[in-house]
Amino acid sequence: MIKSIRILLLVAFSFFSACAMAQTGSGEPSGASVEELVAKLTPEQRQVLGQLLETLASEVEDNAADAAAPRDFRAELGLAWQSYKAFLWSNITGFPDAVIGVGKTIHRIVTGDGPGLNLRFLAGLGITILFAWLVETVVERFVRTSREAGTHKGAGTYAGADNLGEQLSILLRALGRDLTGQISFSIAALIAIQFAFSDPTNGYVATIFIFYAILVYRFSAAILRFILAPFEPQYRLVTTDDWTAKFIYYHLVTIATFTGIVLFLISAMQRLSITGFAPLAFVSGIIVYGGIIYVSWRARDGLTTILRGGDNDVSPGLARMATWWPPLSIALIIFQYFAAQIAGATGSLDISAGAAVTVLAIIVSAPFLDTMMRGLVRHLVPNMQGEGPIAEAAYNETRHSYVRIGRVILFVILILISARLLGISIRSFAETGFGVQFAAKGFGFLMILAVGYLVWEFINLFVNRRLVTDIWEAATGESAEQGEGYGAGKSRMATVLPLVRMALQAVTITLTVLLALAQLGVNITPLLAGAGVLGLAVGFGAQTLVKDVVSGIFFLLDDAFRVGEFIDTGGIQGSVERISVRSLQLRHPNGPVHIVPYGEISKLTNHSRDYVIMKLKFTVPFDTDIEKVRKLFKKIGQEMMEDPAMADDFIQPFKSQGVAAVNDVGIVLRGKFMAKPGTQWVIRKQVYAKVQKAFDENGIHFARREVRVQMSPGGEMEIDEDQAQALAAAAAVAADGDTKS
């Protein structure tokens, strides 16, 4: 109060000083005259003038600070609610004026404010439409190469499409024919309007009538026929029944036609300076949004079927999303309606009717866009590598990754398009109040999460595609079914990639969470400091864990083992089944699983690296020809090397190593071969079979333990049956004792 009085006094003083100056001369003073005026002031007047300038500068700064300071969110919300109530009341009370305005508009168009009909306008409009229709007919007949050009009623029929490519080609040709006709119709109508109407107002009304009342209906019908094919189900891009397709088609075309007529009336009212178009737009918006909500709810089962598609292996997430999408889309439609209304009422965003309708169309078309995206994925995903359940599971996982990536990209694109249409940008967010800035931070938060999820899926997709070949070969190879151990391992890439995936996913999650929190305004510096302290605490308190992790890193750097290889860690043997950050999992040939921490491995023997040497022993009688056996072994080795089924598995052929030992049974011969790890068991079975067959063909017998009883020369002994059985039992006991010894 005191400050205000002080300002008034200073202004009064300035006013009287200006009056005094005005008495001395007129016009604006120059710089020299101002200096002369100030020089004539007394010291007291100069002091008062300085105080006046300081006070005015202070007030200007305070006002600027008040304008720049963000308003309280609650106060901003209350102000928005008051503005919306005023907006709502004005449109409700003004609706009778809108009805009157529509009547005036139609009367002005039909009569031209004259006593009778405006025959010149009506005739010009009729001639324009007739001329445009004739041009469209000529163009369609010129472009159409056959009668097979349509998927809607009365457009002819096609032969059945064998795949999605042919089906899409047929639909695109039909859509192209429709759009070509509409474009030619539009161009011909614009040309005819230039000659048929000399009055600019009549020409404008005719133009908006053709584009809004006619072409909006035709364009929407063509697009919906392309998507739904309501009259040709064999070419339908989406998975739904005939009733749903026709129900959605008829009702959406009706809503689009109503919207076009309303847009024509509003534009005509604005051109003719007739009031009431704002309440008309308000009530028409309620009707349009209500109609779309009705369609979404009535056809909810069909929309669920469209989202599920024709896939038999629908994931639980997709099943839940398909079930909840109809009510969720209704909630989004209601939210978009009120958001657009409040934004228009408060003036925070300038949203046009076309932008609002386009955003609404994006929400409604989301299930159809998702179906199209999945159809595109079916053609982009690589073919299944290999056969069997593991290859099929890898293929399905890759396909689902493509679908998830496509959905996220589609979601981001639709959000950005909607924001662009609504005039929303980061710069506009920064220039508005607290509430919209909070929404901007939420938008950035969602975008960061979307990008992080995309990176996560790309990592999974890259790793899975690199691993699928090794997984299939390891699972379908015969050596993997023997349970003998010493199998071939996977590649080093297949061993390291799972750990690399874990590391990259951990980094992705960490960076995404930190960036998302920073976007919301959270100070992440204390979080980073706390994470550093926690890391030090873990390092000092869990030295065994650190030892295991570090040892595992060096084992992997040395390429000491790979997944699938058979190793011995100093008493524990088994095939490497899984590798984690701190331990490895070994599967013993008999079935048990051993978990071995890296830090406890003092030495490691790898039995599956590079090659395997298999040595086989054969015992033959003492009178066997050793050279003949050597030649037989060599022949068997050559035959097996020439066998295409086993030639690639050999490194060195099967051959004889000569006499290994001589015992009381016979001569022990040894043969050997060198093969790739994991194939030695199959080769060993074939070697045994071929050696037995060769020995049999050449009269060579395997030595076996025998008990020989030598009689004195010339002696004869007659024994009865009981004595023979006793001798046989004694011989068996003696042979058994030799075996155990």
Residue 148, classed as helix, strand or coil, is coil
Residues 20 and 121 grouped into a single domain? no
Whole-number pLDDT of residue 389: 62
606 in Cβ contact with 664 (< 8 Å) = no
Neighbouring-strand partners of residue 615? 672
Residues 38 and 138 grouped into a single domain? no
Average pLDDT over residues 141-165: 52
Confidence of residue 71 (pLDDT cuts 50, 70, 90): low
Classify 71 in phi/psi space as left (phi over 0), alpha (psi -120 to 50) or beta.
beta
Average pLDDT over residues 94-121: 82
Average pLDDT over residues 6-16: 41
Higher pLDDT, 677 or 309: 677
Confidence of residue 727 (pLDDT cuts 50, 70, 90): low
Rounded (10°) CA dihedral 725, 727, 728, 729: 90
| Domain C-terminal end among 331, 355, 380 | 380
Least confident window among 9-23, 64-78, 597-611: 9-23
Strands across the sheet with 612-620, in order?
Answer: 612-620, 667-675, 650-662
Average pLDDT over residues 364-374: 76
In this predicted structure, the answer to whether residue 257 has a pLDDT above a threshold of 90 is yes
Backbone CA torsion sign across 566, 572, 576, 580: negative
Higher pLDDT, 346 or 159: 346
Contacts of 670 (CB under 8 A, 6+ apart): 615, 616, 617, 618, 656, 657, 658, 659, 660
Whole-number pLDDT of residue 519: 82
Residues 110 and 246 grouped into a single domain? yes
Domain that holds residue 291: 100-380
Neighbouring-strand partners of residue 315? none
Whole-number pLDDT of residue 217: 92
Query: Is 501 inside any structural domain?
Result: no
Read off the amino acid at residue 364: V
Residues 265 and 349 grouped into a single domain? yes
Average pLDDT over residues 180-195: 92
Whole-number pLDDT of residue 707: 65
What is d(CA 521, CA 216) in angstroms, rounded to the nearest whole number? 45
Residues 192 and 341 grouped into a single domain? yes
Which domain CATH number covers 682? 3.30.70.100
Residues 109 and 9 grouped into a single domain? no
604 in Cβ contact with 561 (< 8 Å) = yes
Confidence of residue 149 (pLDDT cuts 50, 70, 90): very low
Average pLDDT over residues 122-130: 91
Query: Is 400 inside any structural domain?
Result: no
Residues 38 and 108 grouped into a single domain? no
DSSP label of 72: P
In this predicted structure, the answer to whether residue 161 has a pLDDT above a threshold of 60 is no
Confidence of residue 718 (pLDDT cuts 50, 70, 90): low
Query: Is 528 inside any structural domain?
Result: no
What is d(CA 53, CA 46) in angstroms, rounded to the nearest whole number? 11
What is d(CA 606, CA 597) in angstroms, rounded to the nearest whole number? 17
Higher pLDDT, 134 or 432: 134
If you average pLDDT over each of 132-146, 306-320, 343-357, which comes out highest? 132-146
Kindly state the tokens that stand for 614.
Answer: 């298999």
| Domain C-terminal end among 354, 380, 406 | 380
SS3 content of the chain, % helix, strand, coil (to 5): 70, 5, 25
Domain count, the chain: 3
What is d(CA 243, CA 371) in angstroms, rounded to the nearest whole number? 18
Least confident window among 220-229, 258-267, 373-382, 543-552: 373-382
> Helix 200-208 vs helix 164-196: angle between axes, to the nearest 10 degrees?
160
Residues 61 and 104 grouped into a single domain? no
Average pLDDT over residues 637-665: 88
Higher pLDDT, 700 or 370: 700
Which ranges in 422-491 belong to alpha helices (H)?
426-430, 434-476
Whole-number pLDDT of residue 734: 61
Contacts of 194 (CB under 8 A, 6+ apart): 203
Whole-number pLDDT of residue 93: 87
Give the model confidence (pLDDT) of 301-332 as tens digits. 888 888 777 666 666 777 787 888 888 888 88
Q: How many CB atoms lie within 10 A of CB 279?
A: 20
Confidence of residue 473 (pLDDT cuts 50, 70, 90): low
What is d(CA 74, CA 72) in angstroms, rounded to the nearest whole number? 6
Residues 175 and 284 grouped into a single domain? yes
For residue 586, how far is the Cα from the chain centroid? 36
In this predicted structure, the answer to whether residue 152 has a pLDDT above a threshold of 60 is no
Residues 246 and 341 grouped into a single domain? yes
Whole-number pLDDT of residue 98: 86
Confidence of residue 290 (pLDDT cuts 50, 70, 90): very high
Closest C-alpha among 370, 468, 463 to residue 414: 370
Query: Is 579 inside any structural domain?
Result: no
Whole-number pLDDT of residue 663: 87
Query: Is 392 inside any structural domain?
Result: no
Average pLDDT over residues 255-279: 89
Whole-number pLDDT of residue 211: 92
**Percentage, residues of the chain above pLDDT 70:** 70
Residues 9 and 118 grouped into a single domain? no
Query: Is 693 inside any structural domain?
Result: yes
386-411 in b/e form (b: 16+ CB < 10 A) is: beeeebeebbeebbbbbbbbbbbeeb
Whole-number pLDDT of residue 735: 58
In this predicted structure, the answer to whether residue 434 has a pLDDT above a threshold of 50 is no
Confidence of residue 741 (pLDDT cuts 50, 70, 90): very low
DSSP label of 210: I
Mean pLDDT of the chain: 76
636 in Cβ contact with 654 (< 8 Å) = yes
In this predicted structure, the answer to whether residue 186 has a pLDDT above a threshold of 80 is yes
Residues 31 and 124 grouped into a single domain? no
| Domain C-terminal end among 331, 346, 380 | 380
In this predicted structure, the answer to whether residue 249 has a pLDDT above a threshold of 90 is yes
Average pLDDT over residues 14-42: 51
Rounded (10°) CA dihedral 423, 427, 428, 431: -170
In this predicted structure, the answer to whether residue 721 has a pLDDT above a threshold of 90 is no
Query: Is 223 inside any structural domain?
Result: yes
Whole-number pLDDT of residue 350: 57
Higher pLDDT, 732 or 139: 139
Query: Is 168 inside any structural domain?
Result: yes
308 in Cβ contact with 241 (< 8 Å) = no
Name the pairing type of β-strands 650-662 and 583-587: unpaired
